[in-house]
Structures are given as structure tokens and as C-alpha cells.
Structure 1
């Protein structure tokens, strides 16, 4: 177009492009890992669910706590489900802990989105005694997890030793 001797072009913009904020969940794999951790006949003690792009997938399952701990990096958003043996010398019980990890390197928008993503995962992972939000690697301490489970369980009368 020409106006007053100047050429100009009309550019129509629809506004800024919006990012797709949808999260998809690998429901079958997460359900299978969850059931494996809960099973009394399985040696699996934990499962980790991580983001693979816009999908939440089962990243790993296992037995060793250090392996569990190593799966949560500074730039990761993830969920963990872990079985912990609690009780005293007279009564041993399995308790379950659900945790949400937001690493210190995670950006503001992804950090904010974790609450809605957590709700989606909690539709599958429904049975646990304690839920924690962790943001530093020092929080990944088995004794801390056991203490939180003991606090949630009420009275703790055991002495740690059994007289015979």
C-alpha cells in the first residue's frame, strides 16, 4: 500500500504464540510401577516418575535408596514413590511416601505448573502415609523419611530391642 509516498505493509498478528502446557501421563506404566512398589511379593522399593517432554513417564524402579536419590537432578521435575519399613521390635509395617521434586534449576513456569501435574499423578498414586515437597538434595535422607512417617503414624512405643 502507498500513503503519502511511503510504502507500508499491513501485518496481522494473532498475538504471541502460546506454549502447549498440556501434560500427558503414561498411565499404564505408572500404574504398573505403583502396584509393584506396593506388592508384598516384590523386592521393588521405589519408583520415579519424570518428565519426558510433556509426558510423565516411569523413569525407573528399584531397591537401593542411593539409586533412587541419584535420579533427582538440579534441572529435573519428578515424583517419587517409596516403600519404607517402619515399626518397632514387635511390629514391622510397610509405609509409603510420595514426594514431589522441583530441582533448583527449574524455571518459574515449570515450577508453577507442578501443582497441576502433581494432581494428575496423584490420581494414580493414591495410597501413601506422607507427602513431601523436596527442593534440595540434602532432603533426600532415609532417616528424614522415616522420621516423617513416624510422626504421621502417631504414638511410637518401641524401645528398639526385644527381650526374650
Structure 2
């Protein structure tokens, strides 16, 4: 089976940018255009990413979140699959097989999140999911 990703090198470059401590890029977004998955964009404001996730959209998001407390701050990463509620069952099914191709590029993440409701995409919720996945917190939470 051939990859549905139109430009894997472009997606990999964006992935490395999100992972880099020397840039302010915190997300990358890949959307479907027909049967292909394309890099739709990257950015430093998560709201810009969220604005592109409509009810009829299938997407993959790679998100960088700073977690921890005053004892240790570190970057954590989430791999988010978004399937809007208006997406047809056939297209929803395609996402499950295509996700494997995305995971070959977006290999490092603390948590995988499947979302179909906007509330599941709130930054605060994702931060909590990543913090709980990272283990014990030793500081006071400040």
C-alpha cells in the first residue's frame, strides 16, 4: 500500500521544527485533500490550528506542550487525530488505516488523542492528559 501523504519530507521537516527547542513552532496540521494527506500549516498559536478543524474535516495534529512545575519544565508532545462529526463513515474508516503512515513520521509523542468534539481539543485538557502520562510531579505545581 502506497503512502497517502503527498510530501513526506515536508511533513518531516515540520515535525522536526515542532520538536526543536530553538523555534516557537508548537503545532503542525495535516489535512486531507481528496485522497491525499497534505501539510496544511504550522504555527506558534494553537488557536490558528483549531480554526481549521471543522465538522467535515479529517486531520492529524502534532502539538508541543510545556509541562511540569518549578522543579522541572519539559516539552511533551501529543499526536491528535481529528474526525469531525459530519465526516462520512467511509472517510472515517480511511483515517484508521492512514494513521499508520502518519505515525511513521510523527514517531515521538507522549499521548495519542482521538477527538471528534471541540471540547476534546482544548489546550488545558491536552496539557492535563500529557502531565498525567508523564508520571509523578514532585513540585508544588507552580
TM-score range, shorter chain: over 0.9
- The TM-score normalised by the length of structure 2 is 0.94
Partner of 2:28: 47
- The TM-score normalised by the length of structure 1 is 0.82
The reply to whether residue 128 of structure 1 matches residue 112 of structure 2 is no
In the alignment, structure 2 segments of 5+ residues that lack a partner are none
The reply to whether residue 94 of structure 1 matches residue 89 of structure 2 is no
Partner of 1:13: none
Secondary structure of the residue aligned to 2:100 is helix
> What is the aligned counterpart of 2:42 among 61, 66, 69?
61
Larger Rg: 1
Secondary structure of the residue aligned to 2:75 is strand
Alignment partners' CA distance in 1, 2:103 and 2:2: 17
**Which structure ranks higher in relative contact order (CA pairs < 8 Å, sequence separation ≥ 6)?**
2
Partner of 1:80: 61
> What is the aligned counterpart of 2:4 among 17, 24, 30?
24
Q: Contact 1:22 / 1:54 at 8 angstroms: preserved in 2? A: no
Q: Contact 2:80 / 2:114 at 8 angstroms: preserved in 1? A: yes
CA pair 106-23 structure 1, distance change in 2 beyond 3 A: farther
State the Cα RMSD in Å: 1.4
Structure 1 residues 102-161: Cα deviation after superposition (integer angstroms, max 9, x where no partner): 000100101011111101110111000010000011111111101100111111122134
In the alignment, structure 1 segments of 5+ residues that lack a partner are 1-20
Structure 1 residues 53-78: Cα deviation after superposition (integer angstroms, max 9, x where no partner): 11111101001121121111110000
Stretches of 4+ moved more than 6 A in 1?
none
The reply to whether residue 143 of structure 1 matches residue 124 of structure 2 is yes
Larger relative helix fraction: 2
Shift of 1:22: 6.9
Q: How many residues align?
A: 141
Q: Contact 1:47 / 1:61 at 8 angstroms: preserved in 2? A: yes
